Amino acid sequence: MAAQQATRQHFADELARVEAKGLGGLDLVVQQLDRVLEALEHQDVELAAMVIGNDDLIDGRYLEVHQELLSLFALQAPVATDLRVVAAMLHVMKNIERMGDQCVNIAKMIPLSGNEPPVHDETLQALAKMGAFARSEVVQAKAAFASRDIALAEDLVRQDREINRLNRDIFRVAIEIGDDPDRREWAMHMTLVARALERIGDNAVDIGEQTAFVVTGLFREFSDSSQPRANL
């Protein structure tokens, strides 16, 4: 019995270690997001290139944690709660990898705008607000999962609604921006930036949903939080 308990404790400790390592990937996303938002504000092509190059760090973290989770699963049959954590973390790591890809997508838009693009201040201000909300969501998603805080996870939807509203506003401005070809091209690029920020917010909400799944064993989409989608 003592040996079995020791084995279980070792598994629990290793799972906690891998979870912390995985959630650390969200810190890498925040770093990437900070850099790409600065690059966008200053049209800094060199900083944008750094963001693209650093995506390997997030991809590497995804692969490491994914492999370690699968190895843990093969080592010992987890109990129900541990199984939920493993399943949720596999999902979370995919969200993190996708967030990193969206930062790269934003970075790739910056050189296309040229050295002195015909910027539209209202659009840049809206993008800055979107970026701030997206960053806050990523930080909050990590805190919610780490502390198993369902209320904090559900609150992600509030910020995500603001991101979605700003995304619609940027698209509207792009349509109404005028007939100048260069200005319209820049505006179209910015709608793609806005879409990438919106997707980062969506992935943060997905992590919140995984938090609720770990705690309750029920998976439900927060966009309709009264209706559980499945009992897993």
Output 67-74 pairs: Cβ under 8 A, ≥24 positions apart.
Answer: 68/18, 68/21, 69/18, 69/22, 69/93, 72/11, 72/14, 72/15, 72/18
What is the reported pLDDT for 9? 80
Identity of residue 169 = D
Domain that holds residue 93: 2-231
Render pLDDT for 23-72 as a digit per residue (tens, 0 to 9).
999 999 999 999 999 999 888 999 999 999 999 999 999 999 999 999 98
Q: Cβ distance 177 to 149 under 8 Å?
A: no
* Mean predicted confidence (pLDDT) in 100-125: 82
Domain with residue 9: its CATH number is 1.20.58.220
Render pLDDT for 179-230 as a digit per residue (tens, 0 to 9).
778 888 888 899 999 999 999 999 999 999 999 999 999 888 887 433 444 4
Is residue 231 classed as helix, strand or coil in its secondary structure? strand
Render pLDDT for 154-173 as a digit per residue (tens, 0 to 9).
999 999 999 999 999 999 98
Helical (H) or strand (E) element with 218: strand 218-219
Q: Cα separation of 223 and 203, whole Å?
A: 13
Q: Cα separation of 194 and 123, whole Å?
A: 10
Render pLDDT for 127-155 as a digit per residue (tens, 0 to 9).
999 999 999 999 999 999 999 999 999 99
The residues that bridge with 218 in the sheet, in sequence order, are 231
Q: Cβ distance 52 to 104 under 8 Å?
A: yes
Predicted TM-score (pTM) of this structure? 0.89
Q: Cα separation of 155 and 205, whole Å?
A: 9
**Tally of structural domains, the chain:** 1
What is the CA 46 to chain-centroid distance, rounded?
23
Kindly give, in sequence order, each residue whose CB lies less than 8 Å from that of residue 98, ignoring residues fewer than 6 positions away.
199, 203
CA torsion 26→218→154→156, rounded to 10°? 30
What is the reported pLDDT for 1? 66
Identity of residue 78 = P
What is the reported pLDDT for 8? 75
Calculate helix-pair angle for 181-216, 2-42, nearest 10 degrees.
160
109 pLDDT more than 70? yes
